[in-house]
Amino acid sequence: MKPERGSGVDIQRKPEWLRKKITPGDQSKMRQLLGELRLNTVCQQALCPNISECFACGQATFLIMGKSCTRLCSFCNVEKSAPVPVDLDEPARVAGAVAGLKLSHVVVTSPTRDDLQDGGASLFAATVTAIRCSSPDTRIELLIPDFKGDVPSLESVVASRPDIIAHNLETVKRLYRVRGGADYGRSLEVLRLCAEMAPDIRTKSGIMLGMGEQEEEVLNVFRDLRRVGCAYLSVGQYLAPSRRHYPVQEYARPELFESLRLRALEMGFGHVESAPYVRSSYHAARYA
């Protein structure tokens, strides 16, 4: 995993295993529903390459609390503008979409909202409650920010009893400068606290390859995650949303993803998705 020198790999020269076709027409039905319910998805905001596949089969990761993030991660396409006031009716609308789509597994996430006293933890909890009321058999996965490590905020989320709590490390410790406002140790502590508060709720994290990391650094991330009780893991290729974002340093080959998947399983992860187009919420229902 030796990065190329210079300003990164030309994002236009993707290898053959990263030439996934995105068909906008496949998204029309989902986009119509989201528009009617005034809901956002991280699929749209982050320009996810899997959007056609997921939207076509009725899968989406709901993005609550607006589209603007208060952090300055240089790899992310989510907006970096002033956040809007939270919408207290949003949990009910998300629950309505889950029921309308008859989802067996739903993922709910948000931009980081450091402007809110609890970081939005109460809105996550309210969304879980609303979904439980209308779709009691749906598995609920929350992909949460770090809430600045605030314990009462984490307690609020855990008390709502989702099935999975995810928080992504995104990259190796040495490269955490790309995550403006985040802290590697604090993110690990978030996962540790969640696992400690409710051992029966599975925790999950994700990391991207191709940002300049070395393989041993990636394996160290896996070890750190296992030490804090993380049960599930996703590993995917970083793809820069534009030339303004942090440049891709390397396109990891599919064989490396498979090798890392096997190593992670050997370390004790209960389920691992590892491939170039894997994202944290991609095939989320497979984690069990």
DSSP string, 120-163: THHHHHHHHHHHHHH-TT-EEEEE---GGG-HHHHHHHHHT--S
CATH assignment at residue 53: 3.20.20.70
Query: Is residue 217 situated within a structural domain?
Result: no
Residue 26 lies in a domain: yes
From first to last of its 288 residues, what are the pLDDT tens digits of the chain?
544 434 455 555 788 887 766 555 555 556 666 667 667 765 555 455 555 555 555 566 899 998 888 887 887 767 777 888 999 999 999 999 888 888 888 999 999 899 999 999 999 999 999 999 999 999 999 999 999 999 999 999 999 999 999 999 999 999 999 998 899 999 999 999 999 999 999 999 999 999 999 999 999 999 999 999 999 999 999 988 788 889 999 999 999 999 999 999 999 999 999 999 998 887 887 887
**168 belongs to a structural domain:** yes
Q: What's 63's DSSP letter? A: E
Q: What is the pLDDT of residue 35?
A: 66
Domain assignment of residue 113, yes or no: yes
Is the residue at 36 inside a domain?
yes
pTM: 0.87
Q: What's the total number of domains in the chain?
A: 1
Contact 182, 175 (CB under 8 A): no
Residue reference for tokens 């053959």? 16
Is position 281 within any domain? no
Distances (CA, A) of 256 to 119, 147, 214: 36, 33, 12
The confidence score (pLDDT) of residue 6 equals 41
With respect to residue 8, please indicate whether it lies within any of the assigned structural domains. no
What is the per-residue pLDDT for 30? 62
pLDDT of residue 145: 96
Is residue 175 domain-resident?
yes
Domain housing 84: 16-204
Rounded to 5 degrees, φ, ψ at 8 are: 105, 170
